[in-house]
Structure 1
Amino acid sequence: MSEPELSAQDAMAIGSRLASAAVAAAQPARSGGNNRVFRLEMAEGPPLALKHYPSDGRDRLGQEYDALSFLSRHGITSTPRPIAKDPAAFCALYQWFDGDAAVLHPRHEDADQLADFLIELQRLRNAEGAETLRNASASVFSPEAAIAQYEQRLDALRRASDDHPDLRAFMDGSLVPSTAIAIRQLRRRYAELGLDPAADLAPAHRALSPSDFGLHNALRAGDGRLRFIDFEYFGWDDPVKLVSDTAIHPGSNLPAAGANRLIERLSRAFEAGDDAFAIRRDVLYPVFGAIWCLIVLNAYLPESRSRRALAAQGGDLTVRLAGQLEKARRLHQTICQRDPDLTPR
C-alpha cells in the first residue's frame, strides 16, 4: 500500500502549530521515496521546511531530528537547524535552505566540499551528546558483518532474478565471481595479520556518518557552497564504510578523479588515528562496492520502495529496470578497475 500523502492544507496546519506562527502558504518542495517536504511561506519571517516521514516502522524522524539537533548545537551551519517535531503526525519543522540541486550541475571542487564536511563531522566525535547518538542505518562494524550484509541482499535478488535472465546473467557471470575473489582476499589478508574478521571495530575508531551522503542530498547556495540535507540514516559507522559509500554512491556519480581525491583526503584523516584503516579500506572497498551494486538493483524486488518510485515515474517498468541493471554494470566495472585481481579468469 502507498503512504497517504500530506495535503498542503495539512502541512499549513501542522507547520503553524509547530512554529507557533501563521503560515501563509505551503508548496511541495520535492518528493522522494522516503519523505515529502513542503516549503512553508510564513506570514512573518523566513520560510521553513516541513518534512513528512513515512510510517514504515523505522524512526526516521527521531534519527534525523536528533542528528541535526546535535550538529546544530555544535555549530554546524551547513545542515538545517531543527525547530520542532510532532512524532504522532510523522512531521518535523526545519530551517529552509534555498539552493539548486547540486547533482544537476556538479563542479570540480565538489569532492573537496564533501570531504571537508565529513572531516568536520569527525571533530565532533567526542563532543557532548555524541555518545548517545544511534548507529547509522545499515552500519557495519566488522568485515564479516559486511559480508553478511552482501549475502543477505544477494539472496533476496537471487529469488527475484528467476523472472529476469539478464539480471541473473550479470549476477552469476560478473558480480558474484568478483565479490567471491574480494572476500577470499579479505579473509586471507586478515589471517596473515592474525586479525579476526568477525571482531567489532573498537568504538574509538568509529566515525560519525550521514550514511546516505553525496551530491544527491546537497543544495548549492548562490556562493557555490554546498548545504546538506536528509540525515535519516545518520549515526556511528566504520569509517571505511563512510569513505567507500561516499566515493561510490551512484547518486553523486563522482568522476574517477574526484572519487580518488575524496578517498585520499578522508583516508589521511582516518589513518592518523587508526593504523589498520588502510588495510580495512583496501579489502573492504570492493565488498561495499558489491553491496552498492545490489542496492541499485533493489528495483527488481517486488516489495521495494525503489521499484514503486520507478513505477510512479511512468513509462515502461521493464525499460526502467534495464536502466538500473546497466547502472549496476557500470558501477561494478568501476570497482573492478580499482583492483584488476577482481576480474574472474
Structure 2
Amino acid sequence: MRIGVDLDNTLIYYDRLFKKLAVSSGLVTQNWTGDKAKIRKHIRELSNGEHRWQQLQGCVYGEAIEDADAFSGAIRFLWRAKHKGHKVFIVSHKTKFAHHDSSVNLREQALKWLANNKIYGASTCNLVDDVFFLPTKEKKIEKFNDLKLDVIIDDLVEIIEHPFLDKHINAILFSSNDIEKNNLNRFSSWSGIDNYLLGDYEKSDCELFIKDSGIGTVNSCCSYNKGGNSSVWKVEVNNKYVFSLKYYNNDLMHADRRKTEIKSIKFMRQFGLDNIPDFVMTDKYLETSLFSHINADPVQTLTKDRVDVVVNFLKKLKCMGRNQEFSLASAACLSGVDIVDQIDLRISQIQTACILNAELDTFIQQSFLPLFERLKVWSKKHWPGNDDFNNVIDIERQTLTPSDMGVHNMLEDCDGNIFFIDFEYFGFDDPVKTTSDFLFQPQNKIDVELGKYWVASMNKIFSGGDNAFMERLMASWPLYGLCWCLIMLNKYHEINRQQRMQSKGHAQSEYSTIKLEKLKKAEKLLDFIKLNYQEFPYSK
C-alpha cells in the first residue's frame, strides 16, 4: 500500500500542550477542562481574542512543538507499516511562518519534532518515506493525488470529502468527535486504524521488536490475551527466557496505560508484592513493554478462598498507599457528583449510537434515564450525614487500587497460587468504588451470598478509618450499577466499531447479534438495580 498521513492533529496531539501554554499565559485557569477547540472558543471570546489565539497557536506549532505528544499508537503503526513493506508519506498543510511571527519556521520545527520522535530525519531508519509541506489545502489534495496513494488518513472532513480527491483513494477520517455520517470510514484511535489496515499482530511483529530491542532471538511466540485495550504475547528467547510482550492500545481518556502500569508494578515490587509480573523493559515510542512470563492459567470462577486473596492484596495496597505520588485511578469517583458525572459522560458518548439504533434509544430514553433521575435523588438523600454528596472524600479514606479488578486479570498456577496482572488503570480511588465495581464486573459472576462475603471482607478492611464506608456504599452502589449498564453497551459506540470488530475477529453479520446480547445484559442489570436499590442485597 501507499499511505498518505496528515501531520497536525492526526500524528501530533496538541490538546495537552495548548492547555499547558494557555494556563501559563493566563488565558485559562489551571482547572480548565476541555480540548483544543474549547480553548480556542474561549480565547476568541476574550478582548483582542483572535490575535491572542493566533499568538498561542504560533507558539504551539513553533518552538513549543517539541513538547507535543504523538497520538497514541501512531508511531507503532508507522513502524509496522514500514516493516511490512508499505510506503508511507506525511502530507501536511502547513505554511512556513505563523500569521503574526516570521521569526520561526514552522516547517523546520515540525521536522525537528519528527526527528525527536524517531519518525523521520533522525537516522537512516526513517519510518516514513518522505514529508511534504503544502501552503494550501488544494495543494495538499493535489499532492495526495500525485503520489498515487491507496489510503489517506486525515482529521478533517473537508479533506476526506474533497471533491477533487481521487475517488480510488480509501479516505480514513481520524476523529473522536461525533459526526452523524454513516458514509465516512472513521476511527477514533490509531490502534483501530492499525488493525484495519495492517491486521492483527503476528509472530513477525514480536520477532522484530525483540530483535530491535537487542534482547535475543525469538524461538517461539504465541498470542494468549487479545482484547480491545491490549494484546499480549508469550515469547521464548534464546531457548532460555520466557517473557510476556504487551502492546498497549491507549486512547484520549487513558493517555498512557504503559507508563501507569510500569510505575505501579515497580512500586508494588519495591514493597514486596511478588504475585504480580516483573518488569523487564519498555519502548515508549512503540508503546510496548516486556514482562517476566507467569506460568499460570486464567482464573475461571470466584470462590471464597480466591476472594480472600483479592482482599488481602487490596489490604496490602491500602497499607502502602500513604504519601505515594500516584494520580487518581482511571475513572476514579471520590464524591457522589463524580459518579453522576461519569454516567453523564457515558450517556453523551453513546448519543450517536442511539440515533442509529432504535432499540438502544428506546432503552436509554424509556428505561435508563428515568431510573437515573430517580437514583440521583435517592442517593443524595441516603448519602452519609457527615459527608456532602458534592464533596471529595479526604485522602486518608482513599486507597490505591488496580481499578480493573476481577477474574479476567487473575491467574492461578498448578500449586494454587494466585497472581494479578494488568495495572494500566492503577491509582487512588474511593474503596467503595472498588467494592462496587467488583460486584458488577460481569466476568466475576458473583451471586448474592459471595457478594455478601466480599462486602463484609472489604468493610472489615476499610471501615476502621472510614466509619461512613458502608453507608456510602449502600447509597452509591446503584449509581455504579448504572455505570456498568453503560459499560456493557460499549459495543454500540460506532466510533469504536472497527477496532472492536477487527480485534475480536467478528464478521459484520455477527456484530449486530453481539450488540443485542449486550443490550439484553444491560436490561437485566437495570432490572436488578431497580428491584434492589432501596434494600442493599449484600448486607449480612
TM-score over 0.5 for the pair: yes
Distance 1:320 1:10, change over 3 A: closer
Query: Where does residue 218 of structure 2 map in the other structure?
Result: 23
Moved more, 38-47 or 304-313: 304-313
Distance 1:51 1:6 in 2: 11
| Match of residue 262 from structure 2 | 65
The answer to whether the 8 A contact 1:205-1:238 is kept is yes
Tell me whether 1:165 sits opposite 2:362 in the alignment.
no
For residue 148 of structure 1, give the secondary structure of its aligned residue in structure 2: helix
Inter-CA distance 115–194: structure 2 relative to 1 (3 Å threshold): closer
2:207 matched residue in structure 1: 12
Give me the whole-angstrom Cα distance separating, in 2, the residues matched to 1:39 and 1:179: 44
Question: Hey, what does 2:401 align to over in structure 1?
Answer: 209
Higher mean displacement: 4-13 or 109-118: 4-13
Once the two structures are superposed, the pairs formed by residues 245-260 of structure 1 within 5 Å of their partners are 245-260=437-452
| Secondary structure of the structure 2 residue equivalent to 1:304 | helix
Unpaired segments ≥5 residues, structure 2: 1-186
In 1, the alpha carbon distance for the partners of 2:354 and 2:462 equals 39
- The Cα RMSD (Å) is 2.4
Number of aligned positions between the proteins: 337
| SS of corresponding position for 2:378 | helix
Task: Kindly name which structure, 1 or 2, has the bigger radius of gyration based on alpha carbons.
Answer: 2
Q: What CA distance in whole angstroms lies between the structure 1 residues aligned with 2:379 and 2:333?
A: 15
- In the TM superposition, what are the counterparts of 1:127-146 in structure 2 within 5 Å? 131-146=324-339
Residue aligned with 1:123, SS:
helix
The residue number in structure 2 matching 1:181 is 374
2:303–2:450 contact (8 Å) kept in structure 1: no
Say yes or no: does 1:318 pair with 2:512.
yes
1:101 to 276, 294, 298: 298
Question: Cα offset for 1:6?
Answer: 4.1
Change over 3 Å in CA distance of 1:113–1:55 after alignment to 2 = closer
Matched, 1:302 2:491: no
* Unaligned ranges ≥5, structure 1: none
Are residue 339 (structure 1) and residue 539 (structure 2) matched?
Answer: no
Kept in 2, the 8 Å contact 1:15–1:50? The answer is no
Do structure 1's residue 79 and structure 2's residue 276 form an aligned pair? yes
Ranked by relative contact order (alpha carbons within 8 Å, sequence separation 6 or more), the top structure is 1
Which stretch of the first structure deviates more once superposed, 45-54 or 332-341? 332-341
Query: How much has 1:295 moved relative to structure 2?
Result: 0.6
Deviates more, 1:226-235 or 1:116-125: 116-125
Identical-pair percentage: 25
Q: Identify the residue that residue 49 of structure 1 maps to in structure 2.
A: 244
Structure 1 residues 225 and 194: alpha-carbon distance in aligned structure 2, compared to 1, 3 A threshold? closer
Between 114-123 and 295-304, report the one with greater CA deviation.
Answer: 114-123
Task: Provide the residue aligned with 2:523 in structure 1.
Answer: 329
SS where residue 450 of structure 2 aligns? helix
What does the per-residue CA deviation read over 1:287-326, in whole Å, with 9 as the maximum and x for residues that have no partner?
A: 1110010010111110136853687333422211110011
**Cα 1:291–1:242, aligned 2, differ >3 Å: closer, same or farther?**
same
Which has the larger share of helix? 1
What is the CA-CA distance between 1:328 and the residue it aligns to?
1.1
Secondary structure of 2:355's partner? Answer: helix
One-letter code aligned to 2:205: D
Separation in 2, partners of 1:173, 1:341: 24
When normalised by structure 1's length, the TM-score is 0.89
Alpha-carbon distance between aligned partners in 2 of 1:151 and 1:289, rounded to the nearest angstrom: 14
